[in-house]
Amino acid sequence: MTTHVLGDTGVLTGRSLQHILRSPDTIVATAVTPIALMLLFTYVFGGAINTGSDQSYGTYMLPGILLITIASGVAYTAYRLFLDMQGGIFERFQSMPIARSSVLWAHVLTSVAANLVSVTIVTGVALIMGFRTGASVAAWLAVAGILILFTLALTWIAVIAGLSAKTIDGASAFSYPLIFLPFISSAFVPTDSMPGPVAWFAENQPVTYVVNTIRALFAQQPVGTDIWIALGWLVGILVVAYAFATAIYRRKIS
């Protein structure tokens, strides 16, 4: 049974990846906004922002930019899933001996692959702009693992949106709050520079813990408890979103 599910997921993931390869502009479009934000904050606002750190501002804000890249990218998962639902592809799959869960996992794994490419592009531009780190291979692998977990958590939220939306615009609109969330966190300025209620929210929302963890890994500093709180948030969101997504999917195809 497990082999059957893995095989079906692999075939359907290949189908989804072919769609991405035929329209690579979606990956480029995902990377354009974060790159534009990097340019804007680094060369326009960066000189006026005091982070209280000896890092360059570009290095300081890169973790937040990477999360915005992923938040932008998962919107395409909701969009593609919505089109599949409207195009009757799911009904066709039901008439074939395909594991039901493989249909959703194919979209999720495609999202992870596409977002890793987008994140790599954005990181490459950051290096050109002066981002530097002495992080070890293990630290880079830890950053990659956190970003993949972040992508999985947000992608399952995107699956909920893709399955529930009534219009194409509605399918992708869910990503706007996710893109905005890093701006009310430690991603671009220290939280202690914010007004009281805003600072409290910024300090206790998941993006801040993820950003602080990645920033510490890049700076070769102790991650402290931030990494465990970040992982707790991400795993919790992933489990809840997965449960809701699969429940909606079963209701849709029953």
Q: What is the DSSP string of 111-147?
A: HHHHHHHHHHHHHHHHHHTT------HHHHHHHHHHH
pLDDT at 5 over 50: yes
Predicted confidence (pLDDT) at residue 101 exceeds the cutoff of 50: yes
- Predicted structure pTM score: 0.88
- Kindly calculate the radius of gyration of the chain based on its CA atoms and give it in whole angstroms: 19
- Condensed to tens digits (0 to 9), the pLDDT of residues 142-155 reads 999 999 999 999 99
Q: Tokens at residue 163, please?
A: 């399955």
Q: How far apart are CA 2 and CA 247, in angstroms?
A: 20
C-alpha 78/C-alpha 177 separation (Å) is 15
The residue ranges of every structural domain in the chain are 2-45+52-253
Average pLDDT of the chain is: 83
Mean pLDDT of 225-233: 95
pLDDT digits (tens, 9 = 90+) for 49-65: 777 677 788 888 999 99
The mean pLDDT value for 121-137 works out to: 90
CB 238 within 8 A of CB 149: yes
Q: Each residue of 31-47: pLDDT tens digit?
A: 888 898 888 888 877 66
pLDDT exceeds 90 at position 215: yes
pLDDT bracket for residue 14 (50, 70, 90):
low
**Cα(185)–Cα(198) distance, integer angstroms:** 9
More confident residue, 208 or 2: 208
Is pLDDT at 1 greater than 60 in this prediction? no
d(CA 104, CA 246): 8
CA distance linking residue 153 with residue 164, whole number of Å: 17
